[in-house]
Amino acid sequence: MSAVRAGTLHGNGEAAAGSGIERYTFVERFVHWWVALTFIALMVSGFALGYPRAYFLSGLFGGGQTMRFLHPWFGVAFTLGILWMLVSWARSMRMTAVDKQWVKRLRTYATTGHTGLDTGKFNAGQKGYYWFAVVLGLVLFVTGLPLWGGWLGGAAGLKHIARFLHHGAFLAMVGGFIIHVYLSTVMFPGTMSAMTTGRVSRAWAAFHHPAWFRQRDRRAGTGR
């Protein structure tokens, strides 16, 4: 029907460069990887700081003291990315009627990887992870502030509470991160290219996000 349709497929349903449907713009991908890399740096140094047995990871950052210096700045960089996501993506992450259906079929989704619903650009799980990560990211930033240094003040009691919450939010975030990475790399082939090339195959789009697919398809067809 259109130039888009002419795209060829790789074995796993990944779109070849320039084919398929555009899912994320360059800026969206850039910010995603900005957040991803700063998060990984934060997570690794966070494990080193929070778990004596993982302290050896501090070597990756040039030793304990350098790591302790870098960690909060990674946090600032991460938070900037999170804020961008909050501003730019919040609108497309509002929950809708289909999303309620999706939540009811969570079990089906987990076991078969498919709900059979007329899902839009994002399903409820993706939206849920978005809000989970944005909110926890901000919690981590706020609870990290009193731990940054003496110059930020704060009584000992406040710091203890902050340290506890920071640790708890960190663990929750790591859990979400594992699921996010698993789903987007291992479980659903073709998803990774959405964040690398920015494009997905038509089959991927029609299968996982049919409503969004039709919209994009129609748009492409009418030459918009």
Partner 1 sequence: MSTELGLAIRRKSATPASSTGIRRDTVEIAKVVDIDLCIGCKACEVACKEWNNLPAEATSNFGSYQSHEDLSAATWDLMRFKEIELDGGDLAWLIRKDSCLHCDDPGCLAACPAPGAIVQYTNGIVNFDQTKCIGCQYCVSGCPFDIPRFDQKTKKVYKCTLCVDRVSASLEPACVKSCPTGAIKFGGKPEMLDYAAGKVDKLKGRGFDHAMVYDPSGVGGLHMMYVVPRGDKLSDYGLPKDPQVPGTFFSALSVLRKLGSISVWGGLLATGIFWLRTGRRKPPPEDEAVAEAERLGRETASEAEPAVQETPVGAGNGAAAAGGDGDGAGPVSMPQPPPPQPQEEER
Q: Of 65 and 196, which CB lies nearer to partner 1 in the complex structure? A: 65
Interface with partner 1, residue 87, by CB under 8 A? no
Per-residue binding string, partner 1, 24-43, x by CB under 8 A, is xx--x---------------
Q: Which of 17, 60, 175, 196 binds partner 1 (CB under 8 A)?
A: 175
Size of the site for partner 1 (CB under 8 A): 80
The binder of partner 1 chosen from 13, 81, 125, 128 (CB under 8 A) = 13
Residues in region 134-173 near partner 1 by CB under 8 A: 147, 149-150, 156-157, 159-161, 163-164, 167-168, 171
Q: Identify whether the C-beta of residue 214 lies closer than 8 Å to the C-beta of residue 174.
A: no
Residue 210 touching partner 1 (CB under 8 A): yes
Name the burial class of residue 103, with classes exposed (0-12), middle (13-18) and buried (19+) by CB atoms within 10 angstroms of its CB.
Answer: middle
Residues 23 and 39: their CA atoms lie apart, in Å, by 23
Q: Measuring CA to CA, which residue among 34, 29, 27 is closest to residue 197?
A: 29
97 lines the binding site for partner 1 (CB under 8 A):
yes
Decide: 119 and 210 in contact? Cβ < 8 Å: yes
Site string for partner 1, 100-119 (x = CB under 8 A): xx--xx-xx--xxxxxxxx-
Residue 9 backbone phi and psi in degrees, to 5: -110, 145
Rounded-to-integer distance, Cα 164 and Cα 152, Å: 18
Residue 108: name the closest of 95, 121, 117, 119 by CA.
117
To the nearest whole angstrom, how small is the minimum distance from the Cβ of residue 149 to partner 1?
Answer: 6
As given in the structure block, the two tokens for residue 219 are 């748009």
Q: Does 199 bind partner 1 (CB under 8 A)?
A: no
Closest distance of CB 117 from partner 1, Å: 5
